[in-house]
Amino acid sequence: MTTFRLTQISDTHLSRRSPKLIRNFERIAEHIDATRPDLVLNSGDIGYDGPTQPDDLEFARSLHDAMPVACRYLPGNHDIGDNPTQIGPVPAQLISEKGRQGYILVFGDDRWRFEAAGWCFVGLNSLVMNSGLVSEAEQFDWLAGELASCNGKPVALFLHKPIFLNAPDDPEIESSSFRYVPMPARRRLVEMLRSVDLRLVGSGHVHQRRDFTYQHTRHVWSPSAGFIISDARQERIGIKEVGLVEYRFQPDSFEVRHVRAAGQVDVDLEEIWAKEQKAPAPVKAPATI
Ligand SMILES: [Fe+2]
Ligand SMILES: [Fe+2]
């Protein structure tokens, strides 16, 4: 295979309780049915509330299984719980091995590597980073072995959280520490990635579309497939719209297309809280999404 077409969707936040998010997923599924990529990747926050509502994960899996293409998955904080950070408050849903195992039961491995069109593709669980769980150390050990066997091939890395805002040594600040791979795990990850020809990092989590290049590596933030977050709750960094990302890989090159499926609607998080889920009390702190 000299061309490999990958479609990244992210932050679908699916549950039986959110018909607006299901409708946006159906529009994405129609687009995927029409375009038939070689692989669909959901880069996390697949379900709405995996740690306390396991049915959200099972329901989300059933919707992916109904699509006529192969799918891979990576966990998000709303699937397995969130990282502790050095500077921010302890997350309301802290990552746990129990949460991780609940995800693995439904979606399979939380990290993977495969090759296609002359590229190495690596998927990581970004939520175990800085957790101190055994699986954090296991993943770093595993990653070292996988990177060592890429043998000079270009590498595309996918994970739920962006590694950083603009640069690896951006200071970690309390108001946004939940948004990126936390220190000091970030430093270790960046160091390990220096050993390979890293061309692409694809992430989700922020619910904003963004595409920038830092040194040799293009960083693509997939928007949410389901909803946006208002400026009142979250600073604007990129483009706030729902959609997906299409990649076309060929040996030694790749293309990126930012796409919005026909019929997708920019649902605001407030609408979901107000009409479809139990609304939390208004908060001044940014939503941890
Ligand atoms: Fe999300
Ligand atoms: Fe997230």
pLDDT value of position 274: 85
Q: Could you say which ligand is closest to the alpha carbon of residue 127?
A: 2
pLDDT value of position 278: 54
- Give kind and range of the element (H or E) at residue 257: strand 253-259
Q: How far apart are CA 28 and CA 7, in angstroms?
A: 10
**What protein residues have CB closer than 5 angstroms to ion ligand 2?**
45, 76-77, 205
Q: What are phi and psi of 98, to 5 degrees?
A: -60, -45
Which three-class secondary structure state does DSSP give residue 59? Answer: helix
Ligand 2 centroid to Cα of residue 202, in Å, is 14
Which three-class secondary structure state does DSSP give residue 276? Answer: helix
Task: Specify which residues 8 forms β-bridges with.
Answer: 41, 245
Cβ within 8 Å of residue 153, ≥6 positions away: 115, 118, 119, 120, 197
Ligand 1 centroid to Cα of residue 13, in Å, is 7
Ligand 2 centroid to Cα of residue 162, in Å, is 10
Ligand 1 centroid to Cα of residue 229, in Å, is 10
Ligand 1 centroid to Cα of residue 118, in Å, is 31
The structure tokens listed for 115 are 């090759």
Ligand 1 centroid to Cα of residue 60, in Å, is 14
Answer whether 208's CB lies under 8 Å from 239's CB: yes
Answer whether 204's CB lies under 8 Å from 221's CB: yes
Ligand 1 centroid to Cα of residue 53, in Å, is 16
Ligand 2 centroid to Cα of residue 44, in Å, is 7
Answer whether 78's CB lies under 8 Å from 50's CB: yes
Q: How far is CA 94 from the centre of its chain?
A: 17
Q: How far apart are CA 183 and CA 213, in angstroms?
A: 21
Ligand 1 centroid to Cα of residue 195, in Å, is 30
pLDDT value of position 197: 98
Q: How far apart are CA 78 and CA 289, in angstroms?
A: 8
Look at residues 182, 188, 209 and name the one whose alpha carbon lies nearest to residue 84: 182
Ligand 1 centroid to Cα of residue 165, in Å, is 16
Q: Could you say which ligand is closest to the alpha carbon of residue 229?
A: 1
Query: Considering the entire predicted model, what is its pTM?
Result: 0.95
Calculate the alpha carbon distances from 124 to 19, 113, 210 in Å: 30, 9, 20
Convert the pLDDT of each residue in 125-143 to its tens digit.
Answer: 999 999 999 999 999 999 9
Ligand 1 centroid to Cα of residue 226, in Å, is 9
Which three-class secondary structure state does DSSP give residue 60? Answer: helix
pLDDT value of position 286: 40
pLDDT value of position 90: 93
pLDDT value of position 285: 38
Sites in the chain below the pLDDT cut of 70? 1, 276-289
Ligand 1 centroid to Cα of residue 8, in Å, is 14
pLDDT value of position 284: 36
Q: How far apart are CA 70 and CA 284, in angstroms?
A: 41
Ligand 1 centroid to Cα of residue 10, in Å, is 7
Question: For 117-187, where are the E strands, in sequence order?
Answer: 119-123, 154-158
